[in-house]
Structure 1
Amino acid sequence: MRIIVQKFGGTSVASPENRELVVGKIAKAQEQGFQSVVVVSAMGRKGDRYATDTLIDLARGTCKDVNSRELDLMMCCGEIISAVVMAGTLQAAGIDAVVLTGGQAGIMTDNNFSSARIQKIDTARILSLLEMGKTPVVCGFQGITAGGELTTLGRGGSDTTASALGAALNAQMVEIYTDVDGIMTADPRVVDNARILDVISYSEVCQLAHQGAKVIHPRAVEIAMQKSIPLIVKSTFSDMPGTLITNIGKEDGSGALVEDRIAAGVTSLLNIAQIRVKLAASASQEAGFTVFRSMSDNKISVDLINVFPDQIMFTVGQDMMEKAAETLCTLGFEVDVVPGCAKVSVVGGGMREVPGVMASFVEALALNGISILQTVDSNASISVLVRQEFATKAVQALHEKFGLSHP
């Protein structure tokens, strides 16, 4: 049985015209000998009647702090509506489609409402439907606990659903359909000559996603990577081949190995604040522990961490900067806050141990008059903190410096 998982995002299923295009993608896969398992997101985007954000606003209209259990029940409705409408469209086209909620598809999760983790998938019902020649249409983004509670998987959860089903079903591939032609070297709204990548490694795309690129949820990539299931990101609205996400050592079309590329893309994250905690010379070695434990206890996520003998620097979302500062001041620390920052990153699987990468990075920003507030690097990325008003200029400069406009 040659199984393909095809996931369609909110814009792909938002209108009758778009859903007809989805039918065409599914029919084509079946003509090629695949048996399709379809995963759908809620229809449209924020403001659209059945979009997830619209349903959240509806629930919070009566109680701003509605319980996460009840909120998950509401959010699950978006994908259920979408799946039923999409299945009806497929049935009208002669494809025998059957709707399954996440729970009916065998997706079992923990009970962490609004951000549940998949614990196991029982594929028996899906495989039974496929053996009968039917096309399962699975509600993305959701699962069920052992106690029968409906849960949602957090932002990007439909990607995670598709990838997890692909791994559990030993699918030939997982296709992620969206409204762009593939994964790009930068946001095309920021960089005019950003281009589509033919192929990218699992690790590179995970880094891009973590650093702000809105391409595919990193959890989905990590799941596919465990079983080496190829992921393909492509558009519902064109016949472009899209971007293949695969193991390291694959060629990128020019003959170069994927992991040999110094840079695959440039990303940015906005609305960040830098927190600087001054440490007295007499501060104990436990000061750092106290700082980060206080952030954890107050559910404040931190990033770009640098620890020095005389100070600690890290970043938080700008919406959490006041809470972070107040928490630390209460503990007796002297704190400086720098609001209005952005994190700009270059990601590439081949930058490890390559001399001059950081020099090129710093040079590109210096030549454009952009000051660096903080840096952090890893084996596959370099990130800097800059003033937010320079974020666009920084992305453009780095994209040009690392030659990402050309294959």
Structure 2
Amino acid sequence: MVGSGRIGVALLVLVLGAGVGQGTATANDPAPAPLDTWTGTWEAAPSGTAPAQPGASLRNVVHLSVGGSTVRVRLTNRLGTAPLDLDTVTVALRETGPDAVPGSMRTATFKGAGAVTIPAGEDLVTDPVLLAVPAGADLLITVHTPTDSGPATYHRAAGQTNYRAPSGNWAADSDGSAYTTTTTSWYYVTGVDVLDAPAAGSVVAFGDSLTDGNGSTRDANHRWPDRLADRLATLPPSRRLGVLNAGVSGNRLLREDVGPSALTRFDADALSRSGVRVVIVLEGINDIKGTPNATDPDAFEDAYRTLVIRAHAQGIRVIGATLTPYGGNGGYTAAREAVRQAVNAFIRLDSPFDAVVDFDTAVRDPEDPQRIRPAYDSGDHLHFNDAGMLALAETVDLAELG
């Protein structure tokens, strides 16, 4: 079922809490975004906090979906408890490791200033940075934190090697030799937008560790949203979309656990992103298998309806994904499986979603439907290996994305 509605007008604002606008379009009019419209090309949703690293330079490696002529970076102190001081933020194309492509290093500004303080609980967007970036490029986003600003908002399970210079402001150095330690988390960065993208907007993959990429090969960009971006890259610009990964490992639909719940973070991590036309929701398995576990399928139905109502109020379509098998995992019981089956029946037959992508059918073992196909199983009977991630991405009907 194809939804309709007007996507809100693009706005260039600085504080994400005030809302970042969408490109004007309808689901039946997949024209490319106007050349003065921002399109989301990469995202990492805040998942928690880590100890501050005063005096360190933190170099994040992010993999873009669509390209453009200009970029802007979304920085976050959303889960922090004190103002975050950043005295240098830079953006560059990545060559290898922590090294930048020569001549690509740019210093980002904030209303023309090179330094900024981000209040606790807020995100901030840089001024436009004139740097042409191709689709599929790796970008280096480096921040220097001169002081102890309290707990650092980060995305813990990046599935990507990032770099740290333990002391000194090395943010503007193209040579990465100062970056002597590594981390597999993204610090202080939550998104990248591009201008003049040859695309019609963006799609948000909203979920938990299955979307975050647990089980896929590190540094390979084989999460299912990455593989969806690969598929979309083959389409003409009028149908191409940027892909934003709003997966948070351990996230739940109904309650706070690892990071804010899906209900709490939906606006910030999905609806406020630039150019969003559609959201794919894969959330709920942690509520079923976790402790304490949710036992009432009606609670899932109410939550899904709430997400759809909020998205439709902004003219954004929502695709619901069925919950995938986890038989053989330590959290599996027959009673919990009955809840999963009830939730999936609702998603398939009676949900408010504009369309459904049946991930469950795509990846379950025909010989034992409570389990993942062995060829797709990362080994823990819950998460997917690279082949399983590709199977999820190939199950998405691109025509349903608008």
TM-score by length of 2: 0.30
The structure whose RCO (Cα within 8 Å, separation 6+) is larger is: 2
**Which protein has the bigger helix share?**
1
Larger radius of gyration: 1
TM-score by length of 1: 0.30
